[in-house]
Each structure stands twice: as structure tokens, then as C-alpha cells.
Chains A and B, each alone.
Chain A
Amino acid sequence: MSLRCEGRIGRIASPREALGRGNLRSLRDITIVARRPAGVACSAGLLFSPNAGTAEGMSGGDQTTAGPSASASGSLFSRYVRDPAFYDEMFDRDGVPHEHCRALWSALREMPGEEILQMQERAERSFLHEGITFSVYGEESAQERIIPIDIIPRLVSAAEWEFLERGLTQRLAALNRFLGDIYGDGRILADGVVPVDLVRGCPQYRIEMRAVEPPFGTFVSICGTDIVRTHEGFMVLEDNLRVPSGVSYMLANRQAVKTSLRGLYRHHRVRSIGHYGALLRQTLAELAPSGVSDPTIVLMTPGVYNSAFYEHMFLAQEMGVELVQGSDLLVHNGFVHMRTTAGLRRVDVIYRRIDDDFIDPLTFRPDSFLGTPGLFHAYQLGNVTIANAPGTGVADDKSVYAYVPEIIRYYLAEEPLLANVETHLCRDPEGLEYTLDNLDRLVVKMVGESGGYGMLVGPHATPDERADYAEQIRRDPANFIAQPTLDLSCSPCLSDGGAAPRHVDLRPFVLHGRETRIVPGAFCRVALRPGSLVVNSSQGGGGKDLWILPA
């Protein structure tokens, strides 16, 4: 920070040419091109004719219209080749746009391709300029990267959304009841609906949470459920009940697409998601310790090096609360305080975006520098609310997942609305037998692993690999679950100047304080590589705006 420095400079023999004063681009002309995976439209290289969309009927996605000649004069969809194996978000089995997609489809096919490409580039540039970035760990050169956006929105009809909303509300209600039960009386375990050892043996089970009763029994107040769609309908792939992220991309994608497709957006009367910050704040305020009428809420981040730091900053700003790190907080006399310029100020609600392990080195990992010593104790005393509560990870564990339909029936006496992906637990003899018999058709995952590690993708594995894996399963069956390979639905995305089907999922964000609140929207993730099913942003995934249409 001091002005003095022992810098390295030396007299360099600069080439005479360097002294010349030719014309160089000015600083303002330096463009920054966002990183995109190969195969994704990035520059206006392939242009369409403005007279697009003349020769086609309604079968915009029909295979028969595809062909090399179509690209020269066709519309955005002229080379769109659907794979009937996957549900298509825009076209039905006959290649006709779904009812609710018709207006978008016909507007897009009349739009000059270069215009769409420019929108795409503008949107990505705006992400970079506004610093809407994430970081990939271990990547020095690309510390700040943007999530590529695909400008073509994905549409969800009012009826579809209404169904999703009911399903998500039901699911979260049951999961909160489940968490209250397993950290309380343990009825569901005593009744043998969910095996005791499965819960108590789960690494995410926090014995410290026993008998802790959060306000309204709300353990999970922010949840980001991953939902996929196949020909059978919507399915929950994963309940993210710990520190789900992506909501800032939902809002950023909306902002970018809204300003690009202005007329279209207005015409569709898309339901607004701009009040997410206000709802989140309201939800957190409801969860304040009893007796606190005007709670001080903070958002706790691991810091600027966390991959989702942008989102933490963004949400703190949207809610108008302080963004704190562990070192900004301290616990005194059982209460949590933050260091302000005017001394200490009491904190009532902490929306933490930091994993359980790192919250409090006195209770959890002692080697953590990210947390605040004594924080968990203050929480146990009921003097501060931590959202989500510690220990919620047990309810989104891979094998507990298989029991969620049962959990819903047990607590709510209702049939689950949203389907689970069929899951076979190898800890059960039937599950084990089924898994071993059908290894070539299943995806087998280790319970404790995530991010695709220790996974066997049956259809892509060699017989030897399958035999080895079967041996592993037999040795420790309880550590494995098996699921069928999923036929994720496809949605049209820009690629090489035209639209092409890419696999998508969606992550709506469910808030729950005193009651459940869901903004009508979701972060729609896209696998931008052709054929890829991986939608993770760290692995070439991108995002899309998701438009929920009014009834």
C-alpha cells in the first residue's frame, strides 16, 4: 500500500518501430469476447437472409426440412432436427409448435438471423461489463468467467407452472417436516418408513441439531430444486437444500433477454420475477428470533474467491442487507454482532452461503477460517437464525432422495405431485439384484460422492468396467444407488447461426418462512455442447431465460 517500491525496470533497447506513431485502435475499440465452448454461435459468421421463413409450414422442427440448402435462405428453425427420443420444449411429436410456443416461434422465424446473433453477443458483453461472473476453481487465467446465455427463451405454460408450483410446495413442506422429525422425536424412523441408519449414518446428519427448533419448523427456507422433463413429464432430479445458487442468473438472464426481445417479451405478458429480493428479505425477516420486530439481516459469504461471489453480492444488494464474511462477525454473550464503523451491531438473521462445515470452527471444522467462532452456540440459544439451518443436507442425500415420495405420503397423507427419478437402493436386496442385472442400462452413483465422481454410466461402459463395478457394489451395496439414464428434454438454442436442440433442465427457487413463496421463474440450465447432458456451468453449460406465461 505504500508508495515506495523496489520495482523492476531496466533500460530496454526498444525497436525503432516501437517509436513510430501509426494508427492504433483506441482503448474503446478493444472488444472482449466471452469464452464459449466450441460449437456455439459466437460471432455473426453465418447470416440468414432477411426473407426468412417463407417455404415452411407449421412443421418448423421437422426433420424433412433440414438440409444444407436450407441454411442459405431458411429461417432460424430450418435446420432444427428434433430427436424424437427426447421431449421438445417447443415442438410436439409432429414438429408442430406447442400451443403456448406458437407466437414466439413465428416471431423468431421471421427475425433476421444476424439480429438474433447480435442480441446474443450484446447480452454476453453486458454480463462481462457488469461483472456477472463466476469462477472455476483451479483456473488461474479465467478467474472471472461469464455463464454463456442463450437468447431464445424457454416457455412454460400457465398450467404447467401451476402444477410445478403445487408440486414444489408440497415437496418442501414434507421435507421440512422430515427434518423437524429426524432432529426431534424421530417418528418416521421409529415407524420404519425411512431406515434409521440411513439417516443417522449420513455424513450430512448433524447431531448438534438435535432438539433445535427453528421458527415455524422451517429448516429449509431457500431451496433450488432441479427439475427435468421427459416424455413422462416433470421429475425432480435433486433437491438442493443446503446453499443452492443460480438465482442471480435467473434474474440476469431475464434482464438481458427482456431488453433484447423487447416487443416479444411485452407481447407474451411474461410473469415478473423482479421481486425475488423483496420476497427473500420478507422470508428471512419472518424467521427472526422471537421478540425481534425489525431484524438485522445479513448475507454471509465465504468471500470474493467463492465461485458464487457475484451472486452473494447481488442478493445482498437486492435485499439491501450487509454482505458479511466470517471475520466481520463475532459472538459476544451468546449474541452475534457485526463490526461496523460505529462499533458492534447485533445481527438477528444470517442468510449463509457457506457450507455447514465452515460456519463455526468451534462446532464444525476446527481448521476453517471462514466462519465465526461461537456462532452455532448463539444459534442453539435461539439468539440468531441461520438460514438454511445447519444439517439440512441429510434431506437431499442421494439415498434419502429415494424415500421422498414416502416422506410426502407419511407427513401430508397426499400422493406426491412431482415424480422422483426411479431410484434403486443397492442396500435393499431387490435393488441390488435389479442393479446388477441391468447394469448396462443404468447410471450407478456412489451415495457419498457428487459431481459425477465414482459414477458408472452403464450404457457407455465396457463389459470389463461393468464387471469391476459390479464387484465394488457387491462389496459395499449400501454405498450405491442406481437410476435409469434420463432423456432430458430439449429446447431450441442458437448454434452455428440456426436453432438446434440442446438438453435443458430448470431450477426454480422456493422460499419458505411462515409460508411458501415461489417467484414465477427459474434458472434454466442448458448443455451447450451438442448431445451433452451436462448442464453444469463449470462444464460448458449455459443459461436461458424461462418465461412463465399468464393464464
Chain B
Amino acid sequence: MLARSARGLYWVGRYLERAQHGCRLLAEQLDALEDRPVGEIELNWRRVYTALGRAPLGGDLAFDLADDAFMLADAYTLVGDLALEAGNPDAIRNCLASARENARQVRNTLDRELWGCLNLAFLGIRDVGIEDIWKDRPGDFVRTAEDAVRTFWGVADSAMYRDESWHFLRLGRYVERTQLLAALIDAQLAVFPSHAHFAESDWLSLLRVCGANGAYGRLFSLQVRPPLVINFLVTDPHLPRSVRFGLAMIIDALDVVSLGEPLALEAGRRAGRTGARIDFDWPNLDLRDQSATRAMLHGIRESCRLLHDDIRAAYFAYEIEDTPGG
């Protein structure tokens, strides 16, 4: 397939994943606004902003722990920032707009329904303001946006021919997901001190963001233990929002598209090595000293970054050795 088309699809996958990640973080946060104590909400915001690598308002989050009204006013601004802010490239609306714009440019490689799904989702939120979404239940906004992404993948999964279009689309999706997950888990460790007196709810909410609370309960117990949660979200090969699962999907997609090209093989090897490190070297979380765990997480994030560069060099922007012309 045309290199530019592959790149477009890869970015559709990435932006949709980023949009969905934003939706899930916000949905969790909006839920917390209903009944959680202010202190917990503040920590949750820190986790969100640390995970996204974005500076919160005015440089720092400082809540007046005694005043709910201020807390809500802050939430109003923060939700606007993460959902709609034009200057925030990772805001949900911007991610959906970028996904749609990339899709528009490579529309001929996508099924009609897939384009329609993105176009409708974008047109539906193009002109809304934070006042609009706040007046009703703000959760509706993120649910609708996430539904659009889910519908897209549902249709893609059930209808797309499994050629390169499909593989580059999911390559983008899982490179993004793996990177975002590693960043989120790292932020969790940075923000919530996991000494003996951790709050269960902080870790439950992390499981919920990753859609892992149900499976965790069935597999382990209803009692939440940070080392188990972290292990689960990083190493479990059956959890769609785990780092290991994401890497497995990347390895699988690369395996199909590589065709023995040296550069492409390099990307596959990198993904494979990262997966193997998780399988064999993942340390159990030490509640007093998290440094080994966090170093591994940093390594995974760095691998994802390099993986992106590999894919780009192998498929989208490769060098042609002879000079063009005549």
C-alpha cells in the first residue's frame, strides 16, 4: 500500500487511542466528582496530568480542601482543558479532529462506515463549548466520544479486510496504547505513595481506567493490593489494556507487514525484546522502593518511542538510495 496511506492509517489508530484514553481518564474523574473527598479528587487530577505529561493550570494544582465550590470550578476548567481546549493537542476533541483529518486524507483506504463514524463524531462535537457539556451531565460528553471510538473499532474489527490497512491501523492503536499505559502506571506510582497505608479507592480507579476491575476481582480478590494491580496491568497477556497485551499486538502486526525488510525486522525485534523483558525480568513491586519498577516503566516508554521511529523509517519515510530524476 502507498506509504503515505499507511502513515495516515497509523495516525488514525494513534489519535483514536489517545482520544479514548482521554475519555476514560475523564470519565473516571467526573465520576469521582460526584461523591469522593476533595483530597482524593486532587490526587486523581495529579495522576491525570502527570500521565499526560501536561502542566496543570497555573503551573500547579492547589485545592482548597475545605471548599467544594472551588473544587467544582477547578474541575470545570480542567475538564474543558482536557476535553476541548484548542491549545491542547491531546484534548479529546483535537484528537478526534486529527483522527478524522488523517482519515479524510486516506479515506479511499477505509470502509465508508468507518469514515462516517469519525465524521459524525467530529461534527457532533465540533461546535460544543464546556458550558454546553457541563450544563447537562458532563459524563455524557465523554461517553459519546468514547462510544464513537468503540464503534469505529467494532466496525473495523467486523468488516475490514485484513490487509495492510488493518495492520497499520492497529499498529498505531497499540503503539499509542502501550505508551500511554506505561505513562499512566508510572504516574500512579509517582502520585500515590504506595506505603502501607494506601487508599484502596486510588488503585481501584486505576483498574477502572484500564477496564480491568472486573477481571481483577475474578482473578485475585476484591481486596486491592498495589503490587498485584501493577503486575496485572503490566504483565497480563489476556488483558487488552495491559502493556504486555499491547506489545503482543504490535509484534503480531509487525510480523505481518515486515516482509523481511531489514529496517522493519528491527522494529519487530525491539518490540519482541521489550515483551521478553516483561515476561522474564519484571520485578515485583517493592512498596518501599519503587525505583526498579519505575526504571522498567521508563524503559518501556522509551522502547515505544523508538518503535515509532523504527516504523516511520521502515515504512513511511524510508530513504531511496538512487537520486530521483531522469
**A-side interface residues toward B, CB under 8 Å?**
3-14, 16, 18-28, 30, 32, 128-131, 304, 313-314, 316-317, 322-325, 327-328, 330-332, 334, 338-344, 362, 373-374, 377
Contact = CB atoms under 8 A, between A and B. Distances in A.
A26 B320 contact: no
Contacts of A304: 104-105
B274 interface: no
Contact of A362 (B3, B54, B325): B325
A14 B87 contact: no
B144 interface: yes
Nearest to B120: A129
B2 A131 contact: no
Contacts of B58: 9-11
Contacts of B207: none
Contacts of A13: 73
A130 B117 CA distance: 9
Which of A4, A5, A23, A322 has the most CB atoms of chain B within a 10 A radius of its CB?
Answer: A5
Contacts of B137: 21
A55 B81 CA distance: 62
Contact of A341 (B6, B57, B85): B6
A5 B90 contact: yes
B73 A7 contact: no
A27 B324 contact: no
A541 B87 CA distance: 37
Contacts of B318: 339, 343
B88 A7 contact: yes
A129 B157 CA distance: 22
B108 to A, nearest CB: 4
By size class, the interface of chain B is 35 or more
Contacts, number: 161
Given A10-B77, A342-B261, 20 more contacts: A3-B54, A5-B90, A6-B55, A10-B58, A11-B77, A12-B77, A14-B77, A16-B69, A22-B136, A24-B136, A27-B144, A129-B116, A322-B5, A323-B108, A327-B4, A330-B320, A331-B325, A332-B324, A339-B320, A344-B320
A26 B316 CA distance: 40
Contacts of B197: none
13 contacts: A7-B87, A7-B89, A9-B87, A11-B74, A12-B76, A18-B134, A18-B135, A19-B69, A21-B135, A28-B144, A131-B104, A322-B1, A340-B1
B7 to A, nearest CB: 9
Contact of B4 (A24, A25, A27, A328): A328
A373 B325 contact: yes
Contacts of B120: 129
A487 B164 CA distance: 54
Interface string B304-326: 00000000000110101010111
Given A21-B136, A24-B135, A338-B2, A14 B89 contact: no
Contact of B76 (A18, A331, A340): A18
B326 A377 contact: yes
B73 A19 contact: yes
